[in-house]
Amino acid sequence: MSCPACLSANTEIIHEATGLPTNSCLLVDDIDIALSYPWGEMALSVCLDCGFVYNGAWDGSSQYDSSYEETQTHSATFRAFATDLAQDWVDRFDLAGKSVLEIGCGSAGEFLQMMVDAGAGRVTGIDPALKIDRIDRPDASQFEWLARPYDAGYGSIEHDAVVCRHTLEHIGPVHEFMTEVRRGIGNRTDVAVLFELPDVARVLQDAAFEDVYFEHCSYFSAGSLARLFRRTGFRVTGLRRAYDDQYLLIEAYPAELGAVTGPTLDLEADLDATIIDSRRYQQRLDDVSAHWAARLGEVTARGGKNVIWGGGSKAVAFLTTLGLAGEVSAAVDINPVKQGRYLAGTGHRVIAPKELVDLEPDLVVAMNSIYVPEIRADLDRLGVGAELEGL
Ligand SMILES: [Zn+2]
């Protein structure tokens, strides 16, 4: 399979796995359905020409509809980050009173509402998982909500900015997608194009396997992302890491057709490093997996209980990669919509933090270490004295 970002055939497989649930963010009400969830395969590959990392075995079978539950805004940490980002983009890209399209606005369109609070004018949110009844402000004069995927059928983009957060990593044909966005914008070269997505550099270096799962078919480094933007007709003006270096933020404008697309930025010079880190990923993954298997095993061997904190994709990736079942008693999640349901593929029950009082776990493993202070505060408030460690 050729590289979905630059179309080169010069690629190699760095990690293979089977038995990955094709969705890990879906809410499953029934444990039998959770346990019989469809499986997909992973053939994690790196392009030696552009540094793009992708699942060469991805078949597009992930499903995005109203049962998809991705929101992270129940976390104060994530919410504060998003609020600041919305304000920063409105200020620096002069979007006060201007129109914004968000591709992949999530089920509740929270970020677009933050953009409006920060001063944006008319906004359009498009997402197949959009739940109109979940949206706080359906005000038709300012907000337009479209519960469908963004594709060629959308037509021309009549907005002053295009925002796309944590969506591109779920799209397989990324070259085609960015080409479509560029075509939709047309002749205007003053439309701000603002994307946020996970950084594969950290995933490879730390063997952050909790971020490698079937829904994520596309994994970008700063360089491979900027190269894709240029190749598909954008002029990249900003590229940086955020959120404890977990995310990449790229800012661009449409380039004039046939124009030189501007100088490369410092962060882009990562092709050799990406290839080296890709080739080391399997060994690092083996080491990290062995560590967690031993840590959880130690607790269960003395009759103790482990729980994980996080009931989303990272939890499913953690459990399926390590092949964990009874070693983990439950997955805690602060999102009330997830509580009482089951994780796709593994069937672990998602519980509210307060259930830990009766469960009395010995070890809580946070699926994202950035939330450890927030989780510690929750555990202290509940009087749960478990050890807390983060991935
Ligand atoms: Zn490539």
pLDDT digits (tens, 9 = 90+) for 19-30: 888 887 777 888
- Cα 270 to middle of ligand 1, angstroms: 13
Q: What pTM does this model have?
A: 0.91
At residue 199, does pLDDT exceed 80? yes
Residue 259, judged by CB atoms within 10 A of its CB (0-12, 13-18, 19+), counts as exposed
At residue 114, does pLDDT exceed 90? yes
In terms of DSSP bridges, do strands 11-21 and 143-146 run parallel, antiparallel, or are they unpaired?
unpaired
- Cα 83 to middle of ligand 1, angstroms: 33
| Mean per-residue pLDDT over the chain, rounded | 92
- Cα 349 to middle of ligand 1, angstroms: 39
- Cα 348 to middle of ligand 1, angstroms: 37
The token duo for 140 is 């038709």
Q: Name the one residue in this structure whose structure tokens are 């919305």.
A: 86
- Cα 63 to middle of ligand 1, angstroms: 26
pLDDT of residue 240: 96
Query: CA 390 → CA 51, 108, 370, distances in Å?
Result: 29, 28, 8
pLDDT of residue 152: 86
pLDDT of residue 73: 61
Q: What's the CA gap between 349 and 329, in Å, rounded?
A: 8
Lowest mean pLDDT among 9-13, 173-177, 320-324: 320-324
pLDDT of residue 387: 97
What is the three-class DSSP state of 48? Answer: coil
Q: What's the CA gap between 308 and 252, in Å, rounded?
A: 38
By percentage, how much of the chain surpasses pLDDT 90? 77
Q: Are 349 and 330 in contact (CB under 8 A)?
A: yes
Q: Are 331 and 305 in contact (CB under 8 A)?
A: no
- Cα 2 to middle of ligand 1, angstroms: 8
- Cα 7 to middle of ligand 1, angstroms: 6
In terms of DSSP bridges, do strands 53-55 and 39-47 run parallel, antiparallel, or are they unpaired?
antiparallel
- Percent helix, strand, coil in the chain, to 5, is 35, 25, 40
What is the three-class DSSP state of 68? Answer: strand
pLDDT digits (tens, 9 = 90+) for 232-278: 999 999 999 999 899 999 999 999 876 666 778 889 999 999 999 99
pLDDT of residue 3: 97
pLDDT of residue 326: 92
What is the three-class DSSP state of 147? Answer: coil
- Cα 10 to middle of ligand 1, angstroms: 8
pLDDT digits (tens, 9 = 90+) for 361-383: 999 999 999 899 999 999 999 99
- Cα 218 to middle of ligand 1, angstroms: 11
- Cα 51 to middle of ligand 1, angstroms: 6
Q: Are 363 and 369 in contact (CB under 8 A)?
A: no
- Cα 78 to middle of ligand 1, angstroms: 31
- Cα 291 to middle of ligand 1, angstroms: 33
- Cα 353 to middle of ligand 1, angstroms: 43
pLDDT of residue 210: 92
At residue 223, does pLDDT exceed 80? yes
Residue 210, CB-side half-sphere exposure with 13 Å CA sphere: 21
Lowest mean pLDDT among 66-75, 187-196, 264-273: 66-75
Tell me which of 95 and 72 has the higher pLDDT: 95
- Cα 102 to middle of ligand 1, angstroms: 26
The CATH architecture one would assign to domain 299-390 is 3-Layer(aba) Sandwich (3.40)
- Cα 369 to middle of ligand 1, angstroms: 31
Task: Round the CA-based radius of gyration of the chain to a whole number and report it.
Answer: 21
- Cα 202 to middle of ligand 1, angstroms: 19
- Cα 224 to middle of ligand 1, angstroms: 8
* Cα dihedral 124, 130, 132, 136 in deg (nearest 10): -70
Q: What's the CA gap between 95 and 97, in Å, rounded?
A: 6
- Cα 68 to middle of ligand 1, angstroms: 30
- In this structure, the number of other CB atoms found within 10 A of the CB of residue 228 comes to 26
Q: What's the CA gap between 104 and 178, in Å, rounded?
A: 14
At residue 283, does pLDDT exceed 90? yes
- Cα 373 to middle of ligand 1, angstroms: 39
Helix and strand numbers, DSSP H then E, in the chain: 10, 16
First to last CA, the chain: 32
pLDDT of residue 25: 73
Q: What is the mean pLDDT of residues 288-312?
A: 96
Q: What is the mean pLDDT of residues 158-186?
A: 96
- Cα 87 to middle of ligand 1, angstroms: 34
What is the three-class DSSP state of 198? Answer: strand
What is the three-class DSSP state of 293? Answer: helix
What is the pLDDT confidence band of residue 67, given thresholds at 50, 70 and 90?
low
- Cα 48 to middle of ligand 1, angstroms: 7
Angle, alpha carbons 157-162-168 (nearest 5°): 110
- Cα 320 to middle of ligand 1, angstroms: 28
pLDDT of residue 256: 84
Angle, alpha carbons 223-229-234 (nearest 5°): 135
pLDDT digits (tens, 9 = 90+) for 117-160: 999 999 999 999 898 888 877 677 899 999 999 998 999 999 99
- Cα 49 to middle of ligand 1, angstroms: 5
pLDDT digits (tens, 9 = 90+) for 5-64: 999 999 999 999 998 888 877 778 888 988 888 889 999 999 999 999 999 999 887 777
Angle, alpha carbons 96-239-199 (nearest 5°): 115
pLDDT of residue 259: 67
- Cα 9 to middle of ligand 1, angstroms: 8
Overall residue count recorded for the chain in this entry: 391
pLDDT of residue 37: 83
- Cα 228 to middle of ligand 1, angstroms: 9
- Cα 182 to middle of ligand 1, angstroms: 19
